[in-house]
Every structure is written in C-alpha cells, then in structure tokens.
C-alpha cells in the first residue's frame, strides 16, 4: 500500500516496508512477538500493559527517558503546561484518548511490533495518539478484529516527533529534553485516525510493525448517533484576541437543521496552552445580544465549566432545548482567565459580542455586552438532536460567504439549507459550512502552529479529518476548492492529486463524495492566463472523473457564456473572483437535492 505526505504544495507518495521486533514489558519480560500476534497466539492486552518505551522525562532528570534511541524525550513540564497531565482524557477530532497515567521516567508508550491490543467500541474510526522517532514518517499495516470474528486491515502513518508537519499535530511542545541539556526545539504528538467497519463492535487491534512508530493511546471514535450538525465553522487560524480577562463571549450563529436537544463543541485547536471556560448558555436571539428568553445553562461532564487542553476540544452535555431551524442562536461562554490568543474562524460575516467584566452568560439582556467582534473564537459546532445527518461543504471564501451582507445569512450554504428545509422529497440534512477564506487544497496558508495574522487555514488535505470526517453525523461531502491553488501557482496535476486523495479518504469512511467545478476569475489580478489554463484542466478532470459520485458544475452556473474565463457580470461582486449574492443564490439553486 501507499502512504502520502505533504511536501510544499505537492503530494508525495511512498511505499513503506515493515519490520518485526520483540516487545518487552516494563519488567523486561517478553509480551508478544509480531508473528505470534499475527498468528493469533497472543491474547489481546490493554495498551498500558504493553508499554515498553519511556518518552517523558523530568527536566531535571532527562536521562530517565529515551524516546528516540538517542536520549531525546518530551518534557513533563511542557506537557503539564499544555494541560496534558497523566491520566487525563482528551477529546481530539471527536475521539476520546487518555494520556498515559505514568510519571516522568516510567514506560508510557508502545513501540509498534505487531502487538495485539484490547480495544472495545463501535464507531467510524480508530484513533491513535502517536509519533515517530526515526527522523521521518513511520508507517505500517495492522488488523482490526471484531467481536463477531470478522477482520479488517488498516494502514497507519505517524509523522516524526521532531520533523512532522505542525499543521496536523495534536499538540506541539516548546522543548526537547536531552542528556546534554534542553533544546528550544518543538516536539510534536499526533492523533491519526483509520477507518473501521461501521456498526461492528471492535474487540482488538493488532499494531503495525515498525519500531520507530510509538503509540501512547488508542480508542474507537464513536459515531454521533442521535445527532445532526446544525451549525459548524472551521478554525482558520490562531490569532491575537482581546486580551480578554473575565469576559463573556456571546457568539451569534445561524442554524440549518433544528431539533429538540442541543450540544455545543468548543475547540482549542492550534493552541499551546489550555483555556478555561467558566460556564456557557444557549438561547434564541431576539435582536443583537439580547435573548428571546432567559439563556439556558449548558454543562460539561456535569460541571458548569471545563478546561480544554491545548489542541483538544470539549462537547457540552446534551440539553433538552428546542432549537428552531434557520434561526439565530446566542451561544455564550465565560472566560474567567486572561485569553490573549485563540483559535478563530475569521470570516464570520456575523456580529457577535463581548461583555464587560464578569460572567454574563445567563443574562437575557444585552446591557453587559458593550463590544462587538466579527469572528467566531473557540466555538466550532452546534449539534441538534435527531435528524438525518449532515452534509459537509468543504470550501474556500466563496463557501465561507465573502462579499455577502453581514448578519444576513446569505452564504450559498445557508440558501442550500433553506432549500432542504422547504421540501419533503429528500431528507432535511443539516448543512455544515466548512469554508475558509483563502484556503487551498494542497498548501497551508496558516502554518498550523503559533500566533499568526494569516487566517487562510491549513490545507484541505491537512484539515480533512477534523473538518469533514469527524463532523457530526456526516453523510455527504461537497468539495468546492481549487481556485486559490491555481491563483498562487499550483499546477492542475497537483490540485487533481489533492482532490483524488480527498475522495479516497472520504470513501474509506463510507461518505458520499461530490465535487464542484472551479469557478472562473479572469480579471482578478492573480487569475492570469496560466492560472486559468490550470483551472480549465482541473475542471476537465472533474467533469470526467470516476472518483466522486457526482459533479456540481458551478463553473457553468457562474461563467459568462461570451467570456467563459470570467464571471457573468450579473453574478460578479466587482472583484471578478467572488460571486455576489445573486451568484451565490444561483449556486444553491443549481444543486440537485437528490444528489445529497
């Protein structure tokens, strides 16, 4: 099999070999060989009983651990500062993973050697908390065994802890401990998911065989049964905010689907430190920051608030609250500490609010909310109970709503959601807008780490798991990207390779995959004749491809028949790149709802 990795804007593919080693328990006794595990002679054991490597050291005693075979290790102090404390369960990309309950210097991970690991659960994917230590990606194949005796194979690639991409890391730590002293060099940990058979109960997992692949935790990512995504937004960067000290954010979001229950999702994506949420509420909007009725408190694991570790997320508990479809909600949460930077979705095209000092999440009045913002910090999802599942729209600024009227909810995903609500021929799916202005298929705009002014997001390939595969009850995906790639020098072959990879990864998870042709943009400064030639080549491939179930010909909808490289003047917002609201309405109206 073949794995792929990012290298600049190119997709590079490599074939990997495997290795067989003998794994030792903490006491030094053999636990299993890869061959024995493969032949089924080894009984599955909990992962922590197989730990055979020490990755974490105390800064004062760096020789207690040797993660990479050269004396390098992770700093226990850095992990604590990130909120990754021993025994803590973190939710990353919808999967709950427990950081090993071990003190610094104790065995805390497994070198993959074909061990058979006891894992239970039903879901859509296996999630591995991993890192490689060989200076490059580590990869290999393993087996999932189900309670009914069935098996399935998987392929796992773990990026290197010192050289892997920051765009896909779960967390980056600022130091590496060595016997010669601490290095001011970032170490990385990754959460990687692989598909499993939906509906079948996983009983055990056989790890790959590559001694440089280290596994700290694994679990089955559960399917979000009983929920539909009502609203979502992608973190597009990690920017300076406020600073906010003891403030309440009241974010305005517009629902697609509605339902009798609600939960929210807060993401601390890209962060290096935890963020504390003191309390949160939900209410329907009356006007501005005022609620129709008293906001209803949300809970997190039964508590009023929660702390979200760096790189992790938090779901609120289910709340009986009638969420109307096609309606503005107020999601309010108190930040009791000082927040100077946060993951944000920049192009909200929506006015939200910041309070005077204090916890004002339960205020029905707008009186305390004296400042406004036009981004969505931290909040990435609102789910509603029941429903048929979600359609995820993966796109750039045209999907994000560039050039639409602020507070009017006239993005083409909003209009598509209304079409679904106004009919009864097909299921009324929730519509999740995962557009990011300036986003590309194959190149990161935001580097994926640190405070940055660039909010173009990491590439579609790098955010696919978080923003698509892990989304609530995702059923169908529409991919509408590529114009920013060709405008900034990517070739048609590079964009096509990225689109093919997206289709393959979606199909591995059982999703229905649709792709839209790239809209014309002649007349915009970067839409040169060369860029348009690559755009046309991408569209030729899209129209004839067999990787996607269906094609939405948005190019045909928007182009001027007399000048096909340009937007139809009636649909041009004036910059020759972004359709106006009439053009976005034409996109939404052109979608055959039966394809969703």
Give per-residue pLDDT as tens, 498-517.
999 999 999 999 999 999 99
Query: DSSP letter string over 253-277?
Result: EE-SS-EEEEEEEEE-TT-SS-EEE
Q: What is the pLDDT of residue 42?
A: 77
- For 80-100, what is the mean pLDDT? 98
Buried (b) or exposed (e) across 336-349, using 16+ Cβ within 10 A?
beebebbbbbbbbb
- For 359-374, what is the mean pLDDT? 98
Check pLDDT > 80 for residue 280: yes
Over residues 94-112, the pLDDT tens digits come to: 999 999 999 999 999 999 9
From the centroid of its chain, how far is CA 275?
A: 18
Distance CA(370)–CA(386), nearest Å, equals 36
Share of residues in the chain with pLDDT > 90 (%): 93
Q: Which whole-number Å values give the CA distances from 403 to 367, 413, 552, 568, in the listed order?
A: 30, 14, 22, 16
Pairing of strands 125-132, 209-221: antiparallel
CA torsion through residues 469, 471, 474, 479, sign: negative
Residue 259 class from Cβ within 10 Å (0-12 exposed, 13-18 middle, 19+ buried)? buried
- For 130-147, what is the mean pLDDT? 98
Q: What is the pLDDT of residue 41?
A: 53
Over residues 208-241, the pLDDT tens digits come to: 999 999 999 999 999 999 999 999 999 999 999 9
- C-alpha angle with apex 462: 338 to 18, nearest 5 degrees? 120
Check pLDDT > 60 for residue 23: no
- For 73-78, what is the mean pLDDT? 98
What value does the mean pLDDT of the chain take? 93
First to last CA, the chain: 31
Name the residue with tokens 């230590």: 133
3-state secondary structure 463-505: HHHHHHHCCCCEEEEEEECCHHHHHCCCCHHHHHHHHHHHHHH
Distance CA(571)–CA(583), nearest Å, equals 4
Residues 6 or more apart whose Cβ sits within 8 Å of residue 236? 344, 345, 346, 347, 436, 437, 439, 446, 455, 456, 457
The residue that leads in pLDDT, 29 or 168, is 168
pTM, full prediction: 0.93
| Closest listed residue to residue 187, CA positions, set 132, 225, 240, 235 | 132
| Closest listed residue to residue 448, CA positions, set 167, 159, 163 | 167
Residues 6 or more apart whose Cβ sits within 8 Å of residue 217? 47, 97, 98, 99, 100, 128, 129
pLDDT band at 142 (very low <50, low <70, confident <90, very high): very high
Residue 269 class from Cβ within 10 Å (0-12 exposed, 13-18 middle, 19+ buried)? buried
pLDDT band at 30 (very low <50, low <70, confident <90, very high): very low
- C-alpha angle with apex 268: 322 to 118, nearest 5 degrees? 90
Q: What is the pLDDT of residue 33?
A: 38
3-class DSSP assignment, residue 369: coil
Query: DSSP letter string over 102-156?
Result: --TTS--BEEEES-EEEEEE-SSEEEEEEEE-SSS-EEEEEEEEETTS-EEEEEE
- For 5-13, what is the mean pLDDT? 33
Q: Are 444 and 169 in contact (CB under 8 A)?
A: no
Q: What is the pLDDT of residue 15?
A: 28
Share of residues in the chain with pLDDT > 70 (%): 93
Per-residue tokens: 510: 């059982």
Over residues 232-256, the pLDDT tens digits come to: 999 999 999 999 999 999 999 999 9
């Amino acid at each position: 099999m073949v794995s792929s990795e990012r290298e600049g804007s190119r997709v590079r593919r490599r074939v990997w070999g495997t290795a067989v080693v003998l794994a030792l328990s903490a006491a030094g006794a053999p636990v299993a060989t890869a061959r024995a595990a493969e032949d089924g002679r080894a009984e599955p054991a909990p992962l922590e009983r197989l730990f055979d490597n020490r990755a974490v050291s105390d800064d004062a005693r760096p020789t207690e651990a040797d993660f990479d075979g050269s004396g390098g290790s992770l700093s226990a102090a850095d992990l604590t500062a990130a909120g990754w404390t021993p025994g803590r369960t973190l939710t990353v990309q919808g999967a709950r993973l427990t950081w090993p309950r071990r003190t610094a210097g104790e065995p805390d991970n497994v070198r993959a050697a074909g061990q058979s690991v006891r894992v239970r659960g039903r879901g859509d994917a296996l999630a591995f908390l991993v890192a490689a230590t060989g200076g490059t990606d580590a990869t290999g194949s393993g087996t999932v065994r189900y309670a009914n005796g069935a098996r399935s194979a998987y392929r796992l690639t773990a990026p290197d802890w010192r050289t892997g991409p920051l765009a896909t890391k779960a967390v980056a730590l600022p130091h590496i401990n060595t016997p010669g002293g601490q290095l001011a060099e970032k170490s990385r940990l990754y959460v990687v998911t692989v598909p499993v058979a939906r509906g079948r109960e996983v009983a055990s997992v056989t790890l790959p065989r590559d001694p440089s692949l280290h596994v700290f935790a694994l679990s089955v990512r559960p399917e979000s049964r009983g929920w539909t995504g009502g609203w979502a937004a992608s973190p597009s960067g990690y920017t300076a905010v406020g600073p906010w000290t003891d403030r309440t954010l009241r974010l305005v979001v517009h629902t697609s689907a509605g339902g009798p229950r609600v939960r929210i999702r807060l993401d601390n994506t890209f962060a290096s430190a935890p963020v504390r949420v003191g309390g949160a509420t939900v209410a329907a909007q009356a006007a501005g920051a005022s609620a129709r009725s008293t906001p209803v408190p949300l809970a997190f694991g039964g508590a009023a608030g929660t702390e979200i570790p760096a790189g992790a997320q938090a779901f609120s508990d289910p709340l009986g609250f009638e969420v109307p479809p096609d309606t503005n909600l107020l999601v309010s949460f108190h930040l009791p500490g000082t927040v100077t930077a946060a993951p944000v979705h920049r192009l909200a095209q929506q006015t939200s609010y910041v309070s005077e000092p204090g916890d004002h999440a339960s205020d029905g009045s707008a009186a305390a909310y004296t400042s406004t913002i036009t981004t969505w910090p931290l909040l990435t999802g609102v789910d509603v109970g029941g429903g048929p599942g979600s359609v995820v729209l993966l796109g750039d600024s045209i999907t994000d709503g560039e050039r639409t009227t602020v507070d009017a909810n006239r993005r083409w995903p909003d209009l598509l959601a209304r079409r679904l609500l106004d009919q009864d021929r097909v299921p009324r799916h929730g519509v999740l807008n995962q557009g990011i202005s300036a986003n590309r298929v194959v190149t990161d705009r935001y580097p994926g780490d640190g405070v940055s002014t660039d909010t173009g997001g990491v590439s579609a390939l790098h955010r696919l798991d978080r923003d698509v595969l892990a989304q609530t009850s995702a059923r169908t995906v529409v991919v509408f990207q590529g114009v920013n790639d060709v405008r900034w020098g990517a070739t048609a072959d590079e964009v096509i390779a990225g689109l093919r990879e997206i289709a393959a990864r979606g199909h591995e998870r059982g999703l229905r995959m649709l792709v839209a042709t790239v809209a014309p943009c002649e007349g915009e400064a970067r839409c040169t004749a060369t860029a348009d030639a690559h755009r046309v080549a991408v569209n030729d491939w899209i129209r004839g491809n067999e990787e996607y179930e269906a094609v939405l010909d948005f190019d045909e909808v928007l182009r001027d028949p007399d000048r096909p490289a340009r937007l139809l003047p009636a649909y041009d917002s004036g910059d020759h790149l972004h359709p106006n609201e009439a053009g976005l309405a034409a996109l939404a109206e052109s979608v055959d709802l039966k394809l969703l």
